[in-house]
Amino acid sequence: MTDQDLIERYNYDKFVPDKFMPWMRFGESPNLGEKAPDFPLWHAETQKETSLSEIWSSHLYTVVEFGSFT
């Protein structure tokens, strides 16, 4: 799968089971109590790059809600 294929499949154009179900893999997500994987992120307002680790290391605890407009 090319990067462009991945982008188009992940950002599916229709909410139909064949397109959204393959992505829902909560059971395969990182374990609690083990170091979590880090990823680059971008601030919505400034577009500046940061990282998940920079976010979580800024506070005693950090609540991360994943979601979108839709």
Task: Report in angstroms how near the CB of residue 68 gets to another protein at its nearest.
Answer: 5
Determine which helix (DSSP H) or strand (DSSP E) holds 3, and give its type and residue range. helix 3-10
**Residue 2 lies near another protein (rule: CB under 8 A):** no
Q: Binders of another protein among 5-64, rule CB under 8 A?
A: 6-8, 10-17, 20, 23-45, 47, 50, 52-53, 55-64
CB 54 within 8 Å of CB 42: no
Handedness of CA 5, 9, 27, 41 (dihedral sign): positive
Instruction: Using CB under 8 A, list all residues that contact another protein.
Output: 3, 6-8, 10-17, 20, 23-45, 47, 50, 52-53, 55-70
